[in-house]
A and B are shown apart, each in its own frame.
Chain A
Amino acid sequence: MKLVFEHSSPGARAGRIPIPPELSVPAVPDELRRRRPPRLPELPEVELVRHFTKLTTRNFGIDTGFYPLGSCTMKYNPRVNERVAALPGFRDLHPHQDEDGAQGALELMHDLQEMLAEITGLYAVSLQPAAGSQGELTGLMLMRAYFADRGESEQRRTVIVADTAHGTNPASVTMAGYELRKVATDARGNIDLDDLRGKVDDSTAGLMLTNPSTLGLFDEHIEEISRIFHDVGALLYYDGANLNAVCGISRPGDMGFDIVHINLHKTFSQPHGGGGPGGGPIAVREHLEPYLPVPAVVREGDRFHLDYDRPKSIGKVRAFTGPFGVFVRSYAFILGWGAELRTMSEDAVLNANYLLARLKDAYDLPFDRLCMHEFVLSARNLKKEHGITALDVAKRLMDYDFHPPTIYFPLIVPEALMIEPTETETKGTLDAFVDAMLAIAREAADEPETLKTAPHGRPVARLDEVKAAKRAIVRYRFEDHPDLTAEPTAPAQVEAPKGA
Chain B
Amino acid sequence: MTYATLTDADRSAMLEAIGLSSIDELFRDIPSGVRFDRPLALDDPLTEQEIVGRLEELAARNVHAGEELSFVGAGVYDHYVPAVVDYILQRGEFLTAYTPYQPELSQGVLQAIFEYQTVICELTGMDVSNASGYDGTTVAADACYIAKHATGRSKIVLAETISPQVRQVVRTYAPGFGMEVVDVPHRDGVVDPEEFRAAAEGAACAIFQQPNFFGCLEAAPQLAAAANDAGALSVAHVDPISLGVLEAPGAYGCAIAIGEGQSAGNPLSFGGPHYGFIAAREEYTRRMPGRIVGETTDVHGKRGYVLTLQTREQHIRREKATSNITTNQTLLALGGLIYLCWLGPEGLQEVGETCMALAEHAKERLELPLLFPEQTTFKEFGVRVGRQAQEAIKDARAQGVNPGYPLGRDYPGMDDAILVAVTERRTVDDVELLAEALAE
Contact = CB atoms under 8 A, between A and B. Distances in A.
Given A28-B376, A55-B111, A60-B106, A76 B270 contact: no
A135 B395 CA distance: 40
Contacts of A175: 145, 173, 176-177, 323-324
B164 to A, nearest CB: 9
Tier of interface size on chain A: 35 or more
A454 to B, nearest CB: 9
A271 interface: yes
Q: How large is the interface on B (under 10, 10 to 19, 20 to 34, 35 or more residues)?
A: 35 or more
Interface string B116-150: 01110111000111011011111000000100000
Given A41-B344, A55-B108, A458-B105, A19 B350 contact: yes
A218 B376 contact: no
B326 A132 contact: yes
Given A59-B106, A130-B134, A218-B30, A35 B247 contact: yes
Contacts of A78: 3, 48
Contacts of A465: 296, 306, 308
Interface in B364-414: 376, 393, 397, 402, 405
Interface string A160-199: 0000001110111111110010000000000000000000
A290 to B, nearest CB: 15
Given A38-B123, A94-B76, A133-B324, A463 B6 contact: no
A381 interface: no
Interface stretch (B32-40, B193-201, B227-235): B32-40
Please name the 4 residue pairs, one residue from A and one from B, whose CB atoms are nearest each other, closest first: A89-B59, A320-B271, A63-B92, A273-B331
A248 B36 contact: yes
Interface string B228-266: 000000000000000111111001000000001000000
A394 B26 CA distance: 28
Interface stretch (A230-238, A274-282, A440-448): A274-282
A387 interface: no
Contacts, number: 713
Nearest to B293: A474
A460 B330 contact: no
Given A31-B221, A132-B327, A140-B176, A476 B269 contact: no
A91 B95 contact: no
Interface string B310-338: 11011111111101111111111010001
Contacts of B136: 319
Nearest to A190: B29
A118 B41 CA distance: 7
Given A24-B357, A131-B326, A476 B115 contact: yes
A498 B251 CA distance: 11
Contacts of B159: none
Interface string B2-25: 111110001101110111100100
A496 interface: no
B151 interface: no
A140 B296 CA distance: 38
A246 B169 CA distance: 33
A173 B320 CA distance: 10
A84 interface: yes
B439 interface: no
B102 A48 contact: no
Nearest to A369: B29
A141 B173 CA distance: 8
A166 B316 CA distance: 10
Contact of B42 (A19, A75, A115, A293): A115
Contacts of A395: 104
A38 B134 contact: no
26 contacts: A3-B118, A15-B344, A17-B80, A37-B348, A60-B97, A78-B3, A118-B40, A118-B42, A134-B138, A144-B176, A167-B316, A171-B317, A175-B176, A249-B27, A275-B98, A323-B273, A335-B45, A335-B50, A336-B48, A354-B14, A370-B29, A404-B102, A423-B4, A424-B3, A461-B302, A464-B296
B433 to A, nearest CB: 15
B3 A1 contact: no
Given A177-B176, A274-B334, 14 more contacts: A18-B427, A32-B247, A38-B248, A59-B108, A61-B97, A92-B64, A130-B135, A171-B314, A220-B31, A249-B27, A461-B298, A463-B296, A468-B294, A475-B121
Contact of B39 (A56, A265, A339, A472): A339
